[in-house]
Amino acid sequence: MGHQVIIFDFSVIRGLWETRVKKNKERQKKEKERLEKSALERIKQEWNLILECRRKGIPQSKYLKNGFVDINEKNLDTYGKAPQLKKNRALPDGVNKEQNKFIFQLSGEQWMELPDSLKEQTYLKEWHVYNTSIQTIPAYIALFQDLRVLELSKNQINHLPAEIGCLKNLKVLNVSFNNLKSVPPELGDCENLEKLDLSGNMEITELPFELSNLKQLTFVDVSANKFHSIPICVLRMSNLQWLDISSNSLKDLPEDIDRLEELQTLLLQKNKLTYLPRALVNMPKLSLLVVSGDDLVEIPTAICESTTGLKFVSLKDSPVETIVCEDTEEIIENEREREQVEKEFMKAYLEDLRERESAPSYTTKVMLSLQL
């Protein structure tokens, strides 16, 4: 029985897809501006102001004027009882601490640093900080012993403090698409960490061996960096199920990669691999392998045998003529944004691949043209 070959060429629709993304972002921006100017948004601001004033003990006469709420920050700045109120209300969508969920949220490029009041909220269990200009995470993060989720994607963070190792209950750390060049060895002390996302930092070349202690990790994404080989510490993560090390500078894979006995998904596209080791056949739970096919000159025959449950996806990287819309250059302004767009595209494709019941249960070969 011959192997079924499924060929998808997305090069033609690529430009149309990017145009739709652009238009969708513009619609979302307009809708956000409309909501900010709406009566509902004003009511929300007034209600948040009343709650803040009551919590700080400010009398009604100070924030009510002729029976109406006065949301002018200048009126509150003169009383000194709510020094953080102006900062907290500057972006009603940016900072949204929900007491019942113990979640801190912050967004907006005007934020250069975290608000001072944050250090007093050590009961928080989740931080969600994204799309800001923040460059550093303060050392007082060690005080947040209940922290479970630390989402810090798409900021300007250039290093992580050693104190992050004090977060013994941390389960999720996402510092993707920042400016990191290294990872502190103290991160290896976060013994309960389950998900680590370092993708899109563009400059990370190695991970400290201390990360071998992260035995609970099931998800690691280090794509879009400068790794020349799979870090030794990653090969020691015995429970790892998902590894994305695409868009790096890998030239080969370690012969003992089959140490990752629990690995189910391995993404290797956009590297410099010329062959795949036979050890991949010895990984019993590996169900999805994605590589870039043009540089490959040797692939173990067993990978393509119908007896394996592996979906083998070979991406075609050779340049092709594509229809490029005028809006494309506006969407993809630099390499980091290029990687973000491609990551979203690949995520959607892989989800579709998993959901397609018609896909062969043995081997699926896909030639996918990605012209970015």
The answer to whether residues 175 and 296 belong to one domain is: yes
CA 29 to each of CA 25, 111, 152: distance values in angstroms, whole numbers, following the listed order: 6, 19, 22
pLDDT value, residue 317: 57
Longest dimension (CA), the chain: 84
Helix 11-37 and helix 335-355: axis angle, to 10°?
110
pLDDT value, residue 297: 82
What is the domain-level CATH number for residue 268? 3.80.10.10
The answer to whether residues 137 and 28 belong to one domain is: no
How many domains would you assign to the chain? 2
H-only helix segments in the chain: 11-37, 39-55, 60-63, 73-77, 85-90, 232-235, 328-331, 335-355
Residue 346 inside a domain? The answer is no
- Cα dihedral 104→110→116→122 (10° resolution): 20
- Cα dihedral 177→191→126→154 (10° resolution): 0
Question: Could you tell me how far CA 1 lies from the centroid of its own chain?
Answer: 41
Residue 246 inside a domain? The answer is yes
- DSSP assignment of 264-319, as one string? -EEE--SS---B--GGGGG-TT--EEEEE-TT--B--GGGG-TTS--EEEEEB-S-
Residue 87 inside a domain? The answer is no
* C-beta neighbour count of 145 within 10 angstroms: 12
pLDDT value, residue 78: 46
Range of the domain at 20: 10-69
pLDDT value, residue 318: 44
Last residue within a domain, chosen from 24, 48, 69: 69
Parts of the chain with a pLDDT under 50: 1-7, 74-75, 78-92, 94-100, 318-326, 329, 331-332, 357-372
Residue 333 inside a domain? The answer is no
Question: Could you tell me how far CA 255 lies from the centroid of its own chain?
Answer: 29
Cβ-based neighbours of 105, under 8 Å, separated by 6 or more: 94, 95, 96, 97, 128, 129
Residue 306 tokens read as 């119908």
Cβ-based neighbours of 115, under 8 Å, separated by 6 or more: 84, 87, 88, 95, 106
pLDDT value, residue 238: 94
* C-beta neighbour count of 273 within 10 angstroms: 20
The answer to whether residues 22 and 149 belong to one domain is: no
The answer to whether residues 159 and 253 belong to one domain is: yes
The answer to whether residues 142 and 282 belong to one domain is: yes
The answer to whether residues 53 and 120 belong to one domain is: no
Contact assessment for residue 198 and residue 180, using Cβ atoms and an 8 Å cutoff: yes
Residue 80 inside a domain? The answer is no
- Cα dihedral 249→252→256→258 (10° resolution): 80
The answer to whether residues 33 and 166 belong to one domain is: no
The answer to whether residues 163 and 237 belong to one domain is: yes
Residue 266 tokens read as 């391995």
pLDDT value, residue 307: 59
Q: Is the pTM for the entire model greater than 0.85?
A: no
Contact assessment for residue 275 and residue 298, using Cβ atoms and an 8 Å cutoff: yes
Letter string b/e over residues 179-209, b meaning 16 or more CB atoms within 10 A of that residue's CB: ebeebbbbbbbbeebbbbbbbbbbebeebbe
The pairing of beta strand 64-65 with beta strand 68-69? antiparallel
The answer to whether residues 65 and 192 belong to one domain is: no
The answer to whether residues 157 and 248 belong to one domain is: yes
Amino acid at 68: F
pLDDT value, residue 31: 75
Specify the long-range contacts of residues 226-229, CB closer than 8 Å, at least 24 apart: 226/202, 229/254
Model pLDDT for residues 267-302, shown as the tens digit of each residue: 999 999 999 999 999 999 999 999 987 788 878 777
CA distance 16 to 324: 8
